[in-house]
Structure 1
Amino acid sequence: MRRGWRYTRLALHLLQGVLTTALVFPWLSLPRRGRLRQRWSKGLLALLGFRMRVDGVELARPALLIANHVSWVDIFAINALSPSAFVSKADVRQWPVIGWLAAMNETVFLQRGSRGHARIINEEIAARMAAGRHVALFPEGTTTDGSHVQHFHAALLQPAINAGQPVQPLAVCYRTPDGAFTRAAAYDGDLSFMDSLSAITAAPCIEVHLTVLPALPTTAANRRDIAHAAHAAIAARVAPEMLAAAERAAA
């Protein structure tokens, strides 16, 4: 019964989001759109049974937010923290409904392998940050089950360097109420969206922990050093055992 009730509420919430985006957003300023997106994201997390826990330092503004990637839920957790323009792969734009919603919510679509397009995208990201807004991306380029952090693609950090804006790491963890690791929210491997949604709705409660880590200046560092520092900071919160093993191997 709990799962059926959540599916019903989810459908109604999605319908509300589509109607708001189509009928209300065209008349609103970007800041007001952001506040509605933040409220809608908080509502989505609540109806799916998530509790949000935030700790760490204050968010820098503007900044390029970078996080480890576990689930499609990550996007709404970050938007609940601060309305952000996300960087996404270009083919998402072609997805029915989702692509349109993403485009209407400031998503920047990245076409990999095209230097000319990358330059345009970098300028678009820099313009958003120059306007005082957050831009968010997942530098792993894929998802994990949340137990580890994969390699960060440093090239994705170049827009922040070009704009002279800081990079702020966010550590994303999913836990049970007693603090144990759970992969219930994971969207990795061969899991379909419905598989992931089914696991989430079957769980009594999942806590999504967001740790805001100190912002990294970009004015006197190259992108590889920034990516390494951000990876180490996030891994220390998500998978401290993995980080310690890597440090022992390096020594």
Structure 2
Amino acid sequence: MTRVLLRLKLAIVLAAVALLALLLAPFQLLGLAFDWKIRRWLPRYWHKAACWLLGIHIHSHGALTVRRPLMIAANHASWTDILVLGALADVAFIAKTEVKDWPFFGLLAKLQKSVFIVREEKRRAGDQASEIGRRMADGEIVVLFPEGTTSDGNRLLEVKSSLFGAAAAALPGAPDGVVYVQPVAIAYTRVRGLPMGHYWRPIAAWPGDVELLPHLSGIVEAGAIDVDVSFGEPIAFHEGDRRKHLSMAVEKSIRRMLLGHLRGRNVD
């Protein structure tokens, strides 16, 4: 694809994504203002449309558990993970506070009522965990990326047990005294129908300080990217359970599913 055609395609895709967001925003704002249920499910339609426009094809394995309160713990390779998970379920994301200042995507994160956390300020950690806990107890599905950053898509980074404090904060509001944490693996596996492989995975993965626009341009140029999303068995977290044990179980489950898909194995 020539540079001119790529720029034209990128402009059309961005315009379509922005226009759809503009059309849905008034309804989402009303939902946020009055705390209507619409604010929870409306973003899913935008995420589905955005994935379609970007050529991201989602292959789901397993199912989202019906148990509540529920936290999804997923590996994190790219900003597209948010589109993928948001297209599959009505979820709210836990994001670092810097995301609020991102052009366009920061606005979208606010519209979806993401929970922004300041990891460096331990004084606020309790309040942030309590907010997440209240929303989970109210039936919302909260997504946590427990690696704390993005990887190169070829591996799972260390899962940080400290980030599961939100699961513990939801326990007081849990009807049965248990919170469920469901491991989810997101694996980018094919581009234009061909196996992506270790070398080409940076087309989808967004590690380090790679600028957003060039990465977005690469995804648009790729034309078609396949992503496999596997839902693992939910893990019951009770009062008195150790977060370290929870994080180890989550890490083991995600790693098995992720590596299985990256190596072309059936992990269902």
Scaled to the shorter chain, the TM-score interval is: 0.7 to 0.9
1:230 aligns with 250
- Which of 35, 42, 50 matches 2:48? 42
Q: Match for 1:58: what amino acid?
A: L
Identity percentage over the alignment? 31
Structure 2 residue aligned with 1:126:
133
What is the TM-score when the length of structure 2 is the normalising length?
0.83
Distance 1:171-1:200 versus aligned 2 partners, 3 A rule: same
Q: Normalized against structure 1, the TM-score is what?
A: 0.88
Q: Deviations over 1:194-243 (max 9, x none)?
A: 2211221111311111101111111153111111111111111212599x
Residue 203 (structure 1) aligned with residue 222 (structure 2): yes
Q: Which residue of 1 aligns with 2:95?
A: 88
Rounded to whole Å, the distance in 1 between the matches of 2:105 and 2:231 is 28
CA contact (8 A) 1:10 1:48 kept: no
Equivalent residue for 1:9? Answer: 13
Range 170-179 or range 96-105, more displaced: 96-105
Gaps of 5+ in 1: 243-251
Question: What per-residue deviation string (whole Å, max 9, x for no partner) do you get for residues 61-83 of structure 1?
Answer: 43111111110000011111112
Bigger shift: residues 57-66 or 100-109: 57-66
Q: CA deviation at 1:180?
A: 4.3
How many residue pairs get aligned? The number is 241
CA distance 1:62–1:10, shift in 2 (3 Å):
farther
Aligned to 1:248: none
CA distance in 2, matches of 1:212, 1:143: 19
1:67 to 51, 68, 74: 74
Query: Does the 8 A contact of 1:6 with 1:47 survive in 2?
Result: no
Inter-CA distance 193–159: structure 2 relative to 1 (3 Å threshold): same
User: What residue is the counterpart of 1:245 in the other structure?
Assistant: none
1:150-229 equivalences in 2 (<5 Å): 150-164=157-171, 165-176=179-190, 177-181=193-197, 182-183=200-201, 184-219=203-238, 221-229=241-249
List gaps (5 residues or longer) in structure 2.
172-178, 263-268
Paired AA for residue 93 in structure 1: K
Q: For 1:53, what is the secondary structure of its paired residue?
A: strand
